Amino acid sequence: MKKILMIPGPIEYEHDVLSAMAKPTYAHTSKEFAEIFKDALEKTMMVFDAKDGLPYAISGSGTLAMEISTANFIKKDSKILVVSTGYFGDRFVDLFSRFSKNVEVYRPPLGYSADPKEIYEKVSKGEYDLVTVTHVDTSSGVKNNIKEIAKFFRDLDTILVVDGVCSIGGEEFSMQWGVDVAFTASQKALGVPPGLAVGVVGAKALKFMEKNPPLTFYSDLRIWQNVLRTYMQGKAAYFATPAVNLILALDVSLNMIVKEGIDNRVKRHQIIAESIRAALKEIGLKFIPKEGSYANTISVQYLPENVKQSDFLADAERFGAVFAGGLIPEIKEKYFRIGHMGSITSSEVLIAIGAVERALKKNGYKIDLGRGLSAAQEVLYNSGY
Ligand code: PMP
């Protein structure tokens, strides 16, 4: 039976994007492929709102993007600050444990976003070599205010790295706010099946990289830089075989994003998120993110006390929508996550909320069916979607 994938990535993909995956594969050294790769890299710059710097699209998942986007900009035992608002923030701590003994973590209480003032107080003396912030942590659904945080870094040597895996393509974002390095993965708001690490490296970070070889090989951006800059001229070069068909799919999806217009796309994500939150609130669920920390790309909420997560998720799937369980170890089984990014429409909101309502009722929760749907409908109707 047909069901929609509403986990926070992978998501439902556009038919034209999937068709690109099924095309006969070009030689990675061909003129045809070089032109497409060039276009995809240019559009990557547009989606990241980057004026200059090096875009990359390298085979691997978001975790590779985390490594590429940090390992190239630190030395052994560099002083690093990790701003963690969940499981994926904490993943940076594991990653850095391979490179440095000087890692500090700023971890706001669960559900709260990082206070930009606290970050300023920590970094303003210029003691840190690198700081990481997760824009939207997919485990908690908490969104950080990158615009406010990034402006402090413009006059510092400290490199600011933003994990935009659960945000870029669905949330307002600009490298020009003062972000030095940002990245995402193909499978989320960029709307491409899993398999590509996609990012942009700004001027400050590129300068650091030239003088400091990283302790990695496949992730060494100095090697990739030569290859990527050649492709950016519409010519082919080789270091490691690119995922040709994924790049074709990326190019199709980025063209769709640019055609929709980034602002329109962010607005659509915002309205969809508001309609889902209005519905879940009406149903009586409590969110993990506190007011003001909500994301446009994902909704994260506790299950009612006596509802067993595995039963709820299985029923929701039977009723037509696949949601995700929790990731934060201490409360993993107490909450669930709905991903709403990419080419998501109002129809999918209604399928998802319908499935939530019926699955909760099936599991003993007292609910008047249709209350959540009605709340979602109001938001969608009032915003013209
Ligand atoms: N960062 C964030 C914010 C994520 O959501 C994820 C994946 N859900 C990752 C990093 C890691 O990406 P991947 O699973 O593609 O390696």
- Identify the DSSP state of 168: B
Q: Which atom of ligand 1 is nearest to the CA of 86?
A: 3
Atom of ligand 1 nearest to the CA of 137: 3
Domain 4-8+262-382 class, CATH top level: alpha beta
- Ligand 1, pocket-test mutation among 5, 88, 298, most atoms within 8 A of CB: 88
Residue 72 contacts residue 214 (beta carbons within 8 Å): yes
Q: Is the peptide bond before 10 cis (omega within 30 degrees of 0)?
A: yes
- Candidates 11, 63, 68, 173: which one to mutate for ligand 1, based on the most atoms within 8 Å of Cβ? 63
To which residue do tokens 């109707």 refer?
A: 381
* The overall pTM is greater than 0.85: yes
Report the alpha-carbon distance of residue 137 to residue 274 in Å, rounded. 18
Residue 385 is predicted with a pLDDT of 84
AA letter at 371: R
Q: How many helices (DSSP H) and strands (DSSP E) are in the chain?
A: 13, 13
Q: Ligand 1 pocket by C-beta < 6 Å: which residues?
A: 9, 61-63, 66, 88, 134, 137-138, 163, 165-166, 185
| Cα distance between residue 331 and residue 157, in whole Å | 38
Q: State the residue for tokens 């980025």.
A: 254
* Domain assignments of the chain as residue spans, ordered by start: 4-8+262-382, 15-260
Determine the pLDDT at residue 266: 98
- Which amino acid does the sequence have at 313? L
What is residue 321's predicted lDDT score, i.e. its pLDDT?
Answer: 98
List, in order, residues 6 or more apart from 384 with CB less than 8 Å away: none
Number of residues in the chain? 385
- The whole-number pLDDT of residue 178 equals 98
pLDDT of residue 211: 92
Q: For residues 310 and 308, give the distance between their C-alpha atoms in angstroms, rounded to a whole number.
A: 6
Ligand 1 center to residue 63 CA distance, Å?
A: 6
CB 80 within 8 A of CB 96: yes
pLDDT at 335 (0 to 100): 98
Q: Element (H or E) spanning 196, and its range?
A: strand 196-201
C-beta of residue 135 within 8 angstroms of C-beta of residue 145: no
Q: How many Å apart are CA 338 and CA 5, to the nearest integer?
A: 9
**Distance of alpha carbon 143 from alpha carbon 20, whole angstroms:** 32
- Tokens 């998942």 found at: 61
CATH architecture of the domain with range 15-260: 3-Layer(aba) Sandwich (3.40)
Bridge partners, residue 137, by sequence: 142
CA of 323 to the centre of ligand 1 (A): 16
Is residue 126 helix, strand or coil? coil
**Contact (Cβ atoms closer than 8 angstroms) between residue 201 and residue 53:** yes
- The pLDDT profile of the chain, 385 residues, written as one tens digit per residue, is 899 999 999 999 999 999 999 999 999 999 999 999 999 999 999 999 999 999 999 999 999 999 999 999 999 999 999 999 999 999 999 999 999 999 999 999 999 999 999 999 999 998 999 999 999 999 999 999 999 999 999 999 999 999 999 999 999 999 999 999 999 999 999 999 999 999 999 999 999 999 999 989 999 999 999 999 999 999 999 999 999 999 999 999 999 999 999 999 999 999 999 999 999 999 999 999 999 999 999 999 999 999 999 999 999 999 999 999 999 999 999 999 999 999 999 999 999 999 999 999 999 999 999 999 999 999 999 999 8
pLDDT of residue 126: 87
- Whether 197 and 65 have beta carbons less than 8 Å apart is answered as yes
- Return the SS3 of 270: helix
Residue ID of nearest Cα to ligand 1 atom 12 = 62
pLDDT attached to residue 1: 83
Nearest CA owner, ligand 1 atom 14: 62
Angstrom distance (rounded) from CA 203 to CA 320 = 46
Q: Report how far residue 138's alpha carbon sits from residue 210's, in angstroms, rounded to the nearest whole number.
A: 33
Q: How many angstroms is it from 361 CA to the middle of ligand 1? A: 32
CA of 65 to the centre of ligand 1 (A): 9
Three-state SS annotation for 22-64: CCCCCCCCCHHHHHHHHHHHHHHHHHCCCCCCEEEEEECCHHH
